[in-house]
Amino acid sequence: MKLTTLLLFALIMQVSAAGYGQKISLSLRDARLATVFDQISDQTGYGFVFTNSILQHATTVSVHVKNADLKEVLDQVFRNQPLEYTIDHTTVLVKRKASTLTGNQRFVLMDIKGKVVDEYNNPLAGVNVLLKSQNKVLASTNGDGSFSISLPESGGILLFSYIGMESQEVQVQSGMKFINVKMVSKSILASDVVITGYTKTSKKMMTGSTSTLDSTVFANKPFPNVDDIFKGQIPGVVVSAQSGQPGTAQKIRIRGTSTISGDAEPLWVIDGIPLQDNPPNIPSSSEIKSGSLDNIFLTGVAGINPNDIESITVLKDASAAAIYGSRAAGGVIVVTTKRGKAGKMRLNYSSLLTVGTAPQRDAGLMNSAEKIAFEQGLWDEFSAKAFLESKTNPMVKYPVIGITGMVRSGKGQFAGMNAAQQDAELARYAQINENGYDLLFRNSLSNTQHLSLSGGGDKYGYYTSFGYVDNAGLVKKNDYNRYNFKTNLDINPVESVKIKIGIDYYALKSKSPALNRVDPFKYAYFANTYESPYHADGSYRNDETYYSLNQLNDPLSVATKPVIPETGFNIMREMDETSSLTRKNQTLISAGVDVKLSNKFTFESLGSYKFISNTLNEIFGINTKAAFDNRLSLDEYNKKQYASINQTHTNSNEYLLRGQLAYRDQFGKNNSLTAYVGSEMKASDTKGGYSKRYGYDPITGNTNTPLPPPTDNKTIDYDVLQRYLAAIDRASGDLFAENRFVSFYAATELGLHEKYIFNLSFRADGSSYFGNDKQFNPTWAAGFGWHLAEEGFMATLKPILSRATLRLSTGYTGNISKVVSPQLILKYLDQVRNINGNTYRMGDVLSAPNPLLRWEKTYDVKASLDFGLFNDRLNGLFEAYYRKSDDLVTTTQTLSTTGFENQEYNAASLENRGLEFTLSGRPIVTKDFKLNLSVNFNYNLNKVTHFNAPYSSMGRSNIWEGYPLNPVFSGKHTGIDPETGLYLYQLRPDAVINKSTDLNKADNYRYYLGTETAPYTGGFNVGINYKSFALNVGGNYSWGAKSFEYLPPPASYVGARKGTVNQSTQVFQNDLYAQHLNVRKNASNRWTPQNTDAASYPRIWDPFGKQYDFEYYNPMDPDITRGAYLKNLSYLRIRSITLSYNLPAKMLQPIKLSSVAFSLSMNNFFTFTNYDGMDPETPGATYPISRSVSFGVNVGL
């Protein structure tokens, strides 16, 4: 300690001596004292101490010195100033002179008092009062919102700043004594600003349907992806998770789905630049089994840092979105990122730590003891008698089900055991209890870091940020990382020119096991819990049952085509010895120049260049089943084992250039006109390749591709060699894609008397995707708005009704379906043909040319009423809409004589009808306490109005005219038949039953049971503020979605053994061989001749055993029997509960911090539903949404 003190003292003395003796060079003209102090401090290390108010009385100085001493420079700087200084060690103390007289000049001051309140007239404490010209804090308001300052008699501009409020400027004139200032919440102002990507306007001037969220919704949230954060926030926007995997894009639908085969996702626009990732498809083949680029990064906005977002505006109808023309059928989401503001540099740092926990529900599966007891019952009923007979007659076959069947039949290591030894062995297995989900899942730790710097002057502004996300997935070996860098620069070199420059870079990385055909969630669901993954010494123990059904019941068939390698199968080996690494890097550079040509005309331009790199590396370790499945197709019937690597990469270059001429005018009394016309060109070029290499060595990175087996004379058969080389050819190839778009557009906004609003827009899009006469697609939109509250006849309602606006709009948008091409599509085959010494590749025509292929179109009409009550303390919005989509591309049957059985045409139509309602308010607003409430509701009815079905009957989810997309057709399950043990289904009222076999006909049972898309959705939010504390509770709900949770196990009679099927099954539970893997607990209450009335699980039988003729008088069609697995996916979820605390301003002033906040969040902890699976939002055996707890810190300087 003494040594440390001595070293510090020596260091201080050295700095002091060096600073005081250091020479100073300055050349400043009319500089503020604060600027001079900063430069002196930079050169000497001396610090300056002064109060915030005294520099406002100082004059600017001009100083020109070279290699001067500190004291010499300070004397020159303080000459003719009302200030004086003293030096204490390395600190310069600045204070006001005893007299305010300097020469013949007298500084005359005036005292100003005032009060600051919010929009509800509640006093605001802690508001900073700044003199704008010097960017210095003069005072802060006290508890009742009052302040007192002194200003020069000439006055000046005061700037009032407060967290969460929009800054206010007030011009102080000579003689003023008192100032009243009303500040407005940023969220209120943000909701009134509408940024379309082409222009900025106000909601008051819009006739279209829009919703805006400000930065408070996105900053420091525990959800790393933007699309996940606004779930339940906006009516008409349904956001649903497809997977709980970190980084996975959400499914977003705005006012329903308006296409059958095209992309129904909305168009994302970032700072005016549409996202247009269009990676080429990777051809599938017998060699490329693992597929393509991981689509985790190919959709959505995974690369955007939510902390960089200033606002998001959702354009929901044609009037709002038609300016985007033929890309806006799915709606438009416009993201505006943060930019710098005038003033000193503001630094903000936030850190968020999140701990994820296992799902809150379990699958209700049997434990080991229950499963072994269940298997014993099956052995006694179906196998024991035949097993005894097989000892004397080897031709007798008997089912071997589960570990109990293996032990009782003496298979493998259990051979030779007596009954007591078998019982002991089964008792040992009953004690193991390895939960498959516990093997796969983990408590994850994730962290998010964000640093931003912003500021600016009169002619410039800047915003720069750095972000990092490390999101460990719920599943082991699953991680997601994101790195962000962003800078926005605004320059106004002259009053008539504004320049905006943006640089945005992000890098995404996702790591996971490359399990390929092994679904880890299915394994967790179906794996028997008595299967331990490790031996006592920690080595891998092979799963004895998961892939053994065929080997146990028909070993000869396994020998012809093995399913697993000779090293066996272990899920943890698959997790540990395979890997998938997906990377995406994107660099976006944009520049915009706005030139004010006159008071009314402005030319606005925007250009951007984007480079995107996507890579995928999948490695399959030599001993894994994934490697066994990814061998050369020639080896599928042998037992060769070798590792392989699959690599894919694409590089894309995208360009955008836009120019528009804008006209803005105020004329007459309260009239305004805004109009603009422009053109936009876009292009994208993508090139890449894919490669599959066999015999991969992970140490050297090289491959040693295995050769086909030679014949007896040690040569390779020519046909075999040809197939081998063809397989090698299929394993690699090039990828490329090109797209070109050109658009012309125009729009206008007319406001008359601040009461009547007219909007009109037009756009024509041209795409290289269509034929010459179908390339351009004109779209338009028109709207009318009427501000009812401004009418004289509404004056009597003014104390209650603060605003009311009626809006009507209509228009067209469009879409492209890329499932079909107007050109003839040829698929190259593996074969070649030699003609006259020339080699020609052979191919098949996949689809005929379609020169009439054209854009899909959506017509939109809506009416809305927007109102505010009690000075906007209560706000509401009601909207009704109708959307009709025509020329939708779908498959249509064609005459087989044409050479094609079906073809894609613009031949279908569908419609969406809906209602939306939003209600928000602040029922309690006092000085210390605020209560904010909001709720939104959405109803959407989707129906196919025209469709020529290429099939003859209503399948479970087939599209059918007169029904919604994603319909559910099946039988109505009514229980278990006590006589047969089969599931019962309700006959239709119009069923025709003339004979017993009519009871088997599917059409006599088929009902429309609902839709997989929830017709009712919405969200809610409760915010409570008490002094420096804030509590926020947000959630969402979904009602009416139906889905089949049909989870057939990997084991079934189809793959169990060869033989004659005497009795097919009605559902998979009937299948004796399906019980080989784990089942739900209710299977112990299965139907038997002794348990007929109380059974909750249907009858089980051996399909190769007795014939019952069930199919003659029972529904057996899977389209009908699937109805027994129909689930209602309705739920209400509390997505987040967040408690935050902001340190008081008085505590922060001494440490020079503007804000310090702490937060604690609970995420996805409470879900209310009748669904009995793991998660109603991601039903089935899939990656579930995890619960998590987050702790955050935010510091502002």
Q: Please write the tens of the pLDDT for every residue from 905-930.
A: 888 899 999 999 999 999 998 878 99
Instruction: Between 244 and 94, name the one with better pLDDT.
Output: 94
| pLDDT at 10 (0 to 100) | 37
Taking the C-alpha atoms of residue 480 and residue 332, their distance in angstroms, rounded to an integer, is: 27
Burial (CB count <10 Å: 0-12, 13-18, 19+), residue 29? exposed
What pTM, to 2 d.p., does this model score? 0.80
Q: Answer yes or no: is pLDDT of 281 > 60.
A: yes
Residue 366 half-sphere exposure toward CB, CA atoms < 13 A: 24
Taking the C-alpha atoms of residue 1039 and residue 221, their distance in angstroms, rounded to an integer, is: 26
**% of the chain beyond a pLDDT of 90:** 41
Q: Decide if 504 contacts 498 (C-beta within 8 A).
A: no
The verdict on residue 1147 lying in a domain is yes
Taking the C-alpha atoms of residue 576 and residue 373, their distance in angstroms, rounded to an integer, is: 33
Residue 1139 half-sphere exposure toward CB, CA atoms < 13 A: 3
Instruction: Between 776 and 601, name the one with better pLDDT.
Output: 601
| Band (1092; pLDDT cuts 50, 70, 90) | very high
| Band (17; pLDDT cuts 50, 70, 90) | very low
Give the total number of structural domains in the chain.
3
Q: Answer yes or no: is pLDDT of 511 > 80.
A: yes
Taking the C-alpha atoms of residue 1120 and residue 1008, their distance in angstroms, rounded to an integer, is: 11
Same domain, 83 and 139: no
Q: Which of 145, 167, 184 is the last residue of a domain?
A: 184
**% of the chain beyond a pLDDT of 70:** 91
What letter would DSSP give residue 145?
S
Q: Answer yes or no: is pLDDT of 388 > 50.
A: yes
Closest Cα to residue 292, out of 20, 690, 868, 788? 690
Q: What is the mean pLDDT of the chain?
A: 85
Average pLDDT over residues 117-128: 79
Q: Answer yes or no: is pLDDT of 22 > 80.
A: no
Helices marked H in 359-454: 368-378, 384-392, 402-409, 419-430, 436-440
What letter would DSSP give residue 956?
S
Average pLDDT over residues 330-356: 88
For 40, the domain range is 15-103
| Band (264; pLDDT cuts 50, 70, 90) | confident
Taking the C-alpha atoms of residue 332 and residue 316, their distance in angstroms, rounded to an integer, is: 7
Dihedral sign, Cα of residue 1059, residue 1064, residue 1068, residue 1069? negative
Q: Decide if 65 contacts 76 (C-beta within 8 A).
A: yes
Report the SS3 class of residue 693: strand
Tokens of 557: 């068939």
Q: Answer yes or no: is pLDDT of 268 > 70.
A: yes
Same domain, 51 and 27: yes
Taking the C-alpha atoms of residue 860 and residue 862, their distance in angstroms, rounded to an integer, is: 7
Reported as type and span, the H/E element at residue 182 is strand 178-182
Same domain, 91 and 53: yes
Q: Answer yes or no: is pLDDT of 572 > 70.
A: yes
Same domain, 40 and 87: yes
> Which residue type sits at 439?
L
Taking the C-alpha atoms of residue 849 and residue 846, their distance in angstroms, rounded to an integer, is: 10
The verdict on residue 601 lying in a domain is no
The verdict on residue 424 lying in a domain is no
CA angle (978, 983, 989) in 5-degree steps = 105
The percent helix, strand, coil of the chain (3-state, each to 5) is: 20, 45, 35
| Band (1134; pLDDT cuts 50, 70, 90) | very high
Taking the C-alpha atoms of residue 319 and residue 391, their distance in angstroms, rounded to an integer, is: 80
Lowest mean pLDDT: which of 92-106, 974-988, 1165-1179? 92-106
Lowest mean pLDDT: which of 330-344, 518-532, 1017-1031? 330-344
Write the CATH number for 59.
3.55.50.30
Closest Cα to residue 236, out of 878, 930, 980, 689? 878
Closest Cα to residue 111, out of 53, 46, 43, 195? 53
Dihedral sign, Cα of residue 442, residue 575, residue 295, residue 1174? negative
Q: Decide if 758 contacts 749 (C-beta within 8 A).
A: yes
Average pLDDT over residues 170-189: 78
Same domain, 1189 and 1162: yes
Instruction: Between 281 and 636, name the one with better pLDDT.
Output: 636
Q: Decide if 1040 contacts 1016 (C-beta within 8 A).
A: yes
Compute φ and ψ for 421, nearest 5 degrees: -65, -40
Same domain, 178 and 128: yes
How distant is the alpha carbon of residue 955 from its chain centre?
31
| Band (104; pLDDT cuts 50, 70, 90) | very low
| pLDDT at 406 (0 to 100) | 95
| pLDDT at 352 (0 to 100) | 92
The verdict on residue 729 lying in a domain is no
Cβ neighbour number for residue 508 with a 10 Å cutoff: 21
From residue 203, give the alpha-carbon distance in Å to each of 51, 167, 212, 828, 1089. 43, 20, 10, 55, 70
Question: How, if at all, do strands 973-976 and 983-985 pair?
Answer: antiparallel
Q: Which of 157, 184, 211 is the last residue of a domain?
A: 184
The verdict on residue 34 lying in a domain is yes
| pLDDT at 591 (0 to 100) | 96
Q: Answer yes or no: is pLDDT of 746 > 90.
A: yes
> Which residue type sits at 1095?
A
What letter would DSSP give residue 542?
-
Region label for 31, one of left (φ > 0), alpha (ψ between -120 and 50) or beta (otherwise) = beta
Closest Cα to residue 169, out of 122, 130, 136? 130
Maximum distance among all Cα pairs of the chain, rounded to whole angstroms = 129
pLDDT in tens, 587-596: 999 999 999 9
Average pLDDT over residues 234-254: 82
Q: Answer yes or no: is pLDDT of 782 > 90.
A: yes
Tokens of 626: 């994934």
Same domain, 116 and 99: no
Q: Decide if 809 contacts 317 (C-beta within 8 A).
A: yes
Q: Answer yes or no: is pLDDT of 53 > 70.
A: no
Taking the C-alpha atoms of residue 477 and residue 575, their distance in angstroms, rounded to an integer, is: 7
| Band (715; pLDDT cuts 50, 70, 90) | confident
Q: Which of 76, 103, 130 is the last residue of a domain?
A: 103
Taking the C-alpha atoms of residue 709 and residue 799, their distance in angstroms, rounded to an integer, is: 91
Write the CATH number for 136.
2.60.40.1120
Instruction: Between 247 and 1010, name the one with better pLDDT.
Output: 1010
62-84 b/e (C-beta count within 10 Å ≥ 16 → b): ebebeebebeebbebbbeebbbe
Question: How, if at all, do strands 267-270 and 332-337 pair?
Answer: parallel
The verdict on residue 171 lying in a domain is yes
Taking the C-alpha atoms of residue 374 and residue 1084, their distance in angstroms, rounded to an integer, is: 6
- Residues in contact with 553: Cβ distance below 8 Å, sequence separation at least 6, in sequence order: 397, 399, 400, 1056, 1057, 1073
What letter would DSSP give residue 317?
S
Tokens of 665: 């005018």
From residue 986, give the alpha-carbon distance in Å to each of 797, 973, 1006, 1110. 57, 7, 9, 17
Q: Decide if 893 contacts 947 (C-beta within 8 A).
A: no
Compute φ and ψ for 387, nearest 5 degrees: -65, -45
Q: Answer yes or no: is pLDDT of 1001 > 80.
A: yes
Question: How, if at all, do strands 91-96 and 47-49 pair?
Answer: parallel
Q: Answer yes or no: is pLDDT of 20 > 70.
A: no
Q: Decide if 493 contacts 479 (C-beta within 8 A).
A: no
Taking the C-alpha atoms of residue 750 and residue 672, their distance in angstroms, rounded to an integer, is: 6
Average pLDDT over residues 1089-1100: 93
Closest Cα to residue 488, out of 587, 590, 585? 590
How distant is the alpha carbon of residue 1074 from its chain centre?
37
Average pLDDT over residues 45-67: 77
| pLDDT at 1178 (0 to 100) | 83
How distant is the alpha carbon of residue 948 from its chain centre?
35
Region label for 1039, one of left (φ > 0), alpha (ψ between -120 and 50) or beta (otherwise) = beta
Q: Answer yes or no: is pLDDT of 1077 > 80.
A: yes
| pLDDT at 228 (0 to 100) | 77
Bridge-partner residues for 1128, per DSSP? 1042
The verdict on residue 608 lying in a domain is no
The verdict on residue 689 lying in a domain is no
**Packing angle, helices 419-430 and 402-409, rounded to 10:** 160
Per the listing, tokens 């491959």 go with 703
| Band (559; pLDDT cuts 50, 70, 90) | low
